[in-house]
Chain A
Amino acid sequence: MRDGMQTANHEGAIVHEHKISQFFWVWGALLGLTAVEVYLGYQNMQPLRMLFILLGISIVKSALIILYFMHMKFEVRRMRYVLMTSLVVCLCLMFIFFADAVRIIDLGVR
């Protein structure tokens, strides 16, 4: 099944046409994942484990928003790769220091 149609306007930019039902499915999936997160919030889990699980679900939710609501799925491949790769690399560079947060608990601060 096709997700949507693409046509080019007079400036060469792609114009998207989507199926409305697809947006309702994504909205339902996002609400469902939020309900799972709230359930997990009340499970007495170890903080680091909880952080990774919640972060994983949040990444899935943000991927759904970017791909469908922000139409990234329907953009040309080079735009998808250039924008998303640079963003993910920059965020990963920032979060590379995260291991230090765990080290402080185990080894203490001098």
Chain B
Amino acid sequence: MADVAMQHPAAQAFEPPLFRTNSKKLGMWLFIMSDSLTFGALLFAYSYGRISNPAWPMPFHATSIMRASIMTFFLLSSSLTMVLGVSAATHGRMAAASRWLVATMLLGTGFVVLHAMEWTGLIAEGLTPFKNPWAAGVPQFGGTFFTLTGMHMLHVTFGIIYLGVVALRKKWIPILLVLWLLAWLLTPASSPFHYGAHVLLVGAIAASMILYFKPKQYDAVDIEVSGLYWHFVDLVWMFIFPLVYLMSTRIT
């Protein structure tokens, strides 16, 4: 019966997908759209507070702006390495694609480290989610700032873990566990990153489940889909950097 169906000319006639694209890519686009609304709401909350409060604090001095500019450079460059990785994978050069993905992960890690330094500096100055040392009448600054930038930092961290799964597969798990131990043990207990480091442990467990229970050789489409996520994370920062940092620059 199956042979008969195979020989029928209609068995070869496939209707092309509606958007002429892979279903994985479409799925990622739908996720990106829903996540855009999450970040849209957070950016709206921050910008609304910024505009409606003339006494909004201006805590970002030259060092902060310099650091945030380098972070922007890292993310933009990581998007370039990502797109070069996708291009290599499309041409069947999978080893080169993996190397570009690792370069993307390193630039992303540089971004997270600089962002953690920025947070540590602001916390040392007395910023908490509920109060800030610069404008006592605007307590929502810390809450909106930490929620927006923390959410983005979490997305970048998940992006690095995701790219590691695609590029390095099972070799990524011990590296991730070492990074978790380093981040956990080298940060003081008072730092939010001491406990935040456990995100890497959760990521390692999730990555292990994916890699051991559903092992596969990731192809060009998988790399392109991971690239879509990474570019989205970059895109969100293109709004956070000007609206949060440049709108609250301390001009001396």
Binding site for B on A (CB under 8 A): 8, 11-18, 20, 23-24, 27, 30-31, 34, 37-38, 40-42, 44, 47-48, 50-51, 54-55, 57-58, 61-62, 65-66, 68-71, 75-76, 78-79, 82-83, 86-87, 90-91, 94-95, 97-98, 100-102, 104-105
Number of chain B residues close to chain A: CB under 8 A: 56
Q: Are A83 and B242 in contact (CB under 8 A)?
A: no
- Within 8 Å CB of A31, what residues of B? 73, 76
Task: Assess the B17–A12 pair: CB atoms within 8 A.
Answer: yes
Alpha-carbon gap, A95 to B33, bound state (A): 16
A34-B33 CB under 8 A given contacts A41-B242, A98-B48: no
Given A27-B80, A41-B65, verify A12-B37 contact (CB < 8 Å): no
Q: Is the CB of B21 within 8 A of A13?
A: yes
* Contact assessment for B247 and A51 in the assembled complex, using a CB-CB cutoff below 8 Å: yes
Set of chain A residues within 8 Å of B234, measured between Cβ atoms: 65, 69
CB neighbours (8 Å) of A50 from chain B are 246-247
Binding site for A on B (CB under 8 A): 14-22, 26, 29, 33, 36-37, 40-41, 44, 47-52, 54, 56, 65, 69, 72-73, 76-77, 79-80, 82-84, 87, 90-91, 224, 227-228, 231-232, 234-235, 238-239, 241-243, 245-247, 249, 251
Pairwise interchain contact A79-B239, C-beta atoms closer than 8 A: no
Chain B residues, Cβ within 8 Å of A54: 242-243, 246-247
Query: Considering only CB atoms, which chain B residue lies closest to A44 in the complex?
Result: B251
With a cutoff of 8 Å between Cβ atoms, the chain A residues found around residue B65 in the complex are 38, 41
B33 adjacent to A87 (CB under 8 Å): yes
Q: Which residue of B lies closest to A78 (CB)?
A: B19
Within the complex, what minimum Cβ distance (angstroms) separates A54 from chain B?
4
Tell me which residues across on chain A come within 8 A of B242, comparing CB atoms: 37, 41, 54-55, 57-58
A27 contacts B90, C-beta separation under 8 Å: no
Q: Are A8 and B84 in contact (CB under 8 A)?
A: no
Q: 19 A-B contacts, Cβ less than 8 Å apart?
A: A11-B17, A15-B90, A27-B76, A27-B79, A31-B73, A38-B246, A41-B242, A51-B47, A57-B242, A65-B79, A69-B234, A70-B232, A75-B19, A76-B19, A78-B18, A90-B37, A94-B40, A98-B48, A101-B51
